[in-house]
Structure 1
Amino acid sequence: MLSVIIDAGTAEDRLAGLLAVLTPAAVEGLVREVLVAGPAWTELVADQMDALCEDTGAELVGDLGQAVARARSDLLLVLPVAIRFRNGWVERLGDHLRDGGREAVLSGEKPPGLFARRPYGVIVARAEAATLVEPDLKGLRGKLGPGARRLD
């Protein structure tokens, strides 16, 4: 089972959509917990995020480093809030985990735009993530190296 960490950044308006998309993975028994990491939001936004997390069973934490420290699973799925998954992502993730898979990159749908880049999440061991002074998606992706398995 995975601990999912969502890096909400400043796109808190997209959080509800991503939390809803994670539900099938939780139903399949792939997700143990969901932690939402974000910046120092204004009091109003923090209250809204806290209410949304409470309604969905997610937990609001400070930054990404605090989320890594609080995660209960040895394997983390770290996602940007803007990611939207392609069809079949739950099956690909489940197959990867059943095959004993560890570190990997999980790509999302490409947003519109000529120069838009496909968002991605990373599956990484909690111990590896904890070695970064200030974890972020780019740093975590770098830990996996260029040959990391892709769950496309």
Structure 2
Amino acid sequence: MLTVVIETKDDEEGLARTLASLVPGAVEGVVREVIVCDVGSTDQTHYVAEHAGCNYVAGGAADGIAKARGEWLLLLEPGARLLEGWADSVIAHAARMTMPARFSRSRASRQPFLSRAFSRPTALAEGLVITRRQATALCKSAKTAEAIARGLATKRLDGEIVVAPTGKA
């Protein structure tokens, strides 16, 4: 049902945290495949993906989306962690909607008002659940996961996410 696409560069630790949070979805049969799209890492990202059983693609998210087999895609940043119950919210969304969706931030990820007012979160901070058809169409003009997720009207899912730590370039 769901293909997870994670675009990464030099973030082996964040990738490991994200992959660990996907295990419940894989056990329930929601996650069918995980594609790690590596845009030039010099660390051990390749080995983390390999040991976790992910498909590894040397290229951007557009390359990973082209190889995806799931009808629905979940785009995540390395370091983001999905919390318990995320798979149920994705299943419910996929059963009744076709529009893209994002997860709700967990309480641990919510920033104070002034921090929110003066910072610009990434478009993938809350992940993105989107149909493969929609993502493929967006790949014609946007090649990175961030560019694909930017500016989309989305629905808010009940499932929660702990956003990836900021500060990586």
Per-residue deviation, residues 11-56 of structure 1 (Å, max 9, x unmatched): 33211111111010011111110001122122xx2xx222222221
Structure 1 unpaired stretches of 5+: none
Kindly provide the amino acid, as one letter, of the partner of residue 47 in structure 2.
A
Structure 2 unpaired stretches of 5+: 159-169
CA RMSD after TM alignment: 2.3
User: Contact 2:5/2:74 (CA < 8 Å) preserved in 1?
Assistant: yes
Residues 27, 10 of structure 1: alpha-carbon distance in 2 compared, 3 angstrom cutoff: same
Kindly state the Cα deviation for residue 120 of structure 1 after the two structures are TM-superposed. Answer: 0.8
- So what's the TM-score if we normalise by structure 2? 0.73
How many residue pairs end up in the alignment? 144
Residues 40, 87 of structure 1: alpha-carbon distance in 2 compared, 3 angstrom cutoff: same
Residues 40, 9 of structure 1: alpha-carbon distance in 2 compared, 3 angstrom cutoff: closer
**Residue 126 of structure 2, aligned match among 120, 131, 151:** 120
Kindly state the Cα deviation for residue 96 of structure 1 after the two structures are TM-superposed. Answer: 2.4
**Counterpart residue number, 2:18:** 18
Inter-partner Cα distance in structure 2 for 1:91 and 1:120: 16
**Residue 88 of structure 1, aligned match among 80, 85, 89:** 85
Q: Which runs of 4+ in 1 moved over 6 A?
A: none
Q: Which moved more, 1:65-74 or 1:1-10?
A: 1-10
**Residue 135 of structure 2, aligned match among 120, 129, 132:** 129
Kindly provide the amino acid, as one letter, of the partner of residue 78 in structure 2.
V
Inter-partner Cα distance in structure 2 for 1:28 and 1:101: 21
Kindly state the Cα deviation for residue 6 of structure 1 after the two structures are TM-superposed. Answer: 1.0
- So what's the TM-score if we normalise by structure 1? 0.80
User: Contact 1:76/1:126 (CA < 8 Å) preserved in 2?
Assistant: yes
Inter-partner Cα distance in structure 1 for 2:32 and 2:26: 7
**Counterpart residue number, 2:53:** 57
Percent of matched pairs sharing the same residue: 33
Kindly state the Cα deviation for residue 74 of structure 1 after the two structures are TM-superposed. Answer: 2.3
